[in-house]
Amino acid sequence: MFLQVGRINGLTLDVQKINGSYSFSFHMVIGQLDEGLYNLNFHYCENILPGTNRPYNLNVEVTEKNPGGYLSAAEIPLPRLYIFMAGVFFIIAMVWVYTLLKYSVFKIHWLMAALAFTKSISLVFHSINYHFINTEGHPIEGWAVMYYITHLLKGALLFITLALIGTGWAFVKYILSDKEKKIFMIVIPLQVLANVAYIIIESTEEGSSEYALWKEVLFLVDLICCGAILFPVIWSVYSAMNLEKLKLFRHYYVMIVCYIYFTRIIAILLKVTVPFQWQWCYEFLVEVSTLIFFVLTGYKFRPASNNPYLQLPLDEEDVEMDEVVTESGMLEGISKVKKTSNGRERQK
Q: How far apart are CA 259 and CA 261, in angstroms?
A: 5
Instruction: Please give, one letter per residue, the 3-state secondary structure of the chain.
Output: CCEEEEEECCEEEEEEEECCEEEEEEEECCCHHHCCCCCCCCCCHHHCCCCCCCCCCCCCCCCCCECCECCCCCCCCHHHHHHHHHHHHHHHHHHHHHHHCCCCCCHHHHHHHHHHHHHHHHHHHHHHHHHHHHHHCCCCHHHHHHHHHHHHHHHHHHHHHHHHHHHCECCCECCCCHHHHHHHHHHHHHHHHHHHHHHHHHCCCCCCHHHHHHHHHHHHHHHHHHHHCHHHHHHHHHHCCCHHHHHHHHHHHHHHHHHHHHHHHHHHHHHHHCCHHHCHHHHHHHHHHHHHHHHHHHHHCCCCCCCHHHCCCCCHHHHHHHHHHHHCCCCCCCCCEEECCCCCEEEC
Do the Cβ atoms of 159 and 118 come closer than 8 Å? no
The predicted pLDDT at position 24 comes to 74
Q: Any bridge partners for residue 17, and if so which?
A: 22
The CA-atom distances, in angstroms, between 298 and each of 98, 101, 200, 275 are 13, 15, 33, 35
The predicted pLDDT at position 45 comes to 77
Which is nearest to 75 in space by CA: 226, 275, 280, 216?
280
Domains of the chain, by residue range, sit at 77-301
pLDDT in tens, the chain (348 residues): 333 333 345 566 676 777 767 777 777 777 777 777 777 777 777 777 777 777 777 777 778 888 888 998 889 999 999 999 999 999 999 999 999 998 888 888 999 999 999 999 999 999 999 999 999 988 999 999 999 999 999 998 998 898 888 887 755 556 677 887 888 888 888 888 888 888 888 888 777 778 888 888 888 888 888 888 888 888 877 776 667 777 888 888 899 999 999 998 898 899 889 888 898 999 999 999 999 999 999 998 888 665 655 554 444 444 333 333 333 344 444 444 444 444 444 444
Q: How far apart are CA 21 and CA 344, in angstroms?
A: 82
The predicted pLDDT at position 315 comes to 45
Q: How far apart are CA 137 and CA 150, in angstroms?
A: 23
Type of residue found at 72: S
Distance, C-alpha 203 to centroid of its chain: 18
**Ramachandran angles phi, psi of 33, nearest 5°:** -75, -20
The predicted pLDDT at position 58 comes to 74
Listed as own residue / partner, the contacts of 142-147 with beta carbons closer than 8 Å and 24 or more positions apart are: 144/203, 147/122
The predicted pLDDT at position 147 comes to 94
- Integer Rg of the chain from CA: 29
The pairing of strands 11-18 and 3-8 is antiparallel
pTM of the complete model: 0.77
Which is nearest to 160 in space by CA: 223, 99, 232?
232
- In this structure, is the dihedral angle defined by the CA atoms of residues 323, 328, 329 and 333, taken in order, positive or negative? negative
Query: CATH says 77-301 is which class?
Result: mainly alpha
Do the Cβ atoms of 97 and 113 come closer than 8 Å? yes
